[in-house]
Amino acid sequence: MFALNSIKRARTTIIEKTASPELFAHSPALALFRDFRDLPPACFSGSTHLEVAAEQVIQSPYDFGLVVNSQHEILGCILESVLLLENRMSLQQAGFDLALMDARQLMKPLSALLAIELSAFSQLSVRKLAKLMLQKQLQELVIMDSASDEMRSIITLTQMRKLTHLALHQPTPVSQLVGILKH
């Protein structure tokens, strides 16, 4: 795995979510892979209001959105769970003015995301991928293709929990965000 410093472009087409087959621990991790070339994620600017970003992510085929600049360079990732109404209400109760908050404030910056090479990812089972992500305390993992220098996908623990029989526990993103925003 490696840290990401920059990604050049992201596509902005919105495609409806598609049903995936149920997976098991021994299933290949590639069964979770949805290629951005075929199913682009929701992309929006950092100044996008949280409600608008949430709506775009809900309409996308993924449980996250990518925050991009005006040149469509990826700045970061924001999980659907962070954008959920109840999590926004938790932020409001913690003293944050939601009317003044935008996607940039809640995104995980590109530099904070970890990635795995597509060829290494293709060797993992769902169980090994889940173990890796839990050990590294990752809620998302970027799949990179170094041959083309492209971000090909992002796998989230939420996605794995929905599609597998594994009991995956992850920290509540809002509690982490409140701590980050207060510093």
Q: Note the pLDDT of residue 39.
A: 93
Mean per-residue pLDDT over the chain, rounded: 82
Q: What pLDDT is stored for residue 181 in this prediction? A: 54
Q: Is residue 24 part of a domain?
A: no
pLDDT-derived band at 72 (thresholds 50, 70, 90) equals: very high
d(CA 24, CA 32): 11
Is residue 127 in some structural domain? yes
Question: What domain range includes position 42?
Answer: 2-19+29-182
Query: 118 with 143: CB under 8 angstroms?
Result: yes
Place of tokens 């929905």: 162
Residue 51 located in a structural domain: yes
Q: How does DSSP assign 126-159, residue by residue?
A: HHHHHHHHHHTT-SEEEEEETTTTEEEEEEEHHH
72 assigned to some structural domain: yes
Give mean pLDDT, residues 105-127: 94
What pLDDT, on a 0 to 100 scale, did the predictor assign at position 160? 83
pLDDT at 89: 83
Q: Which contiguous run of DSSP H or E holds residue 173? A: helix 173-182
What is the mean predicted confidence (pLDDT) over 4-20? 42
Count: domains in the chain: 1
Span 150-181, pLDDT tens digits: 999 999 988 888 877 655 555 545 455 555 45
Q: Is 110 exposed, middle or buried (0-12, 13-18, 19+ CB in 10 A)?
A: buried
CATH number for the domain that contains residue 132: 3.10.580.10
Residue 55 lies in a domain: yes
Q: Is residue 89 part of a domain?
A: yes
Q: Is 149 within a domain?
A: yes
Could you tell me the pLDDT band of residue 14, with boundaries at 50, 70 and 90? very low
Q: Considering the domain boundaries, does residue 57 fall inside one?
A: yes
Q: If you average pLDDT over residues 116-145, what whole number do you get?
A: 93
The model's confidence at residue 86, banded by pLDDT at 50, 70 and 90, is confident
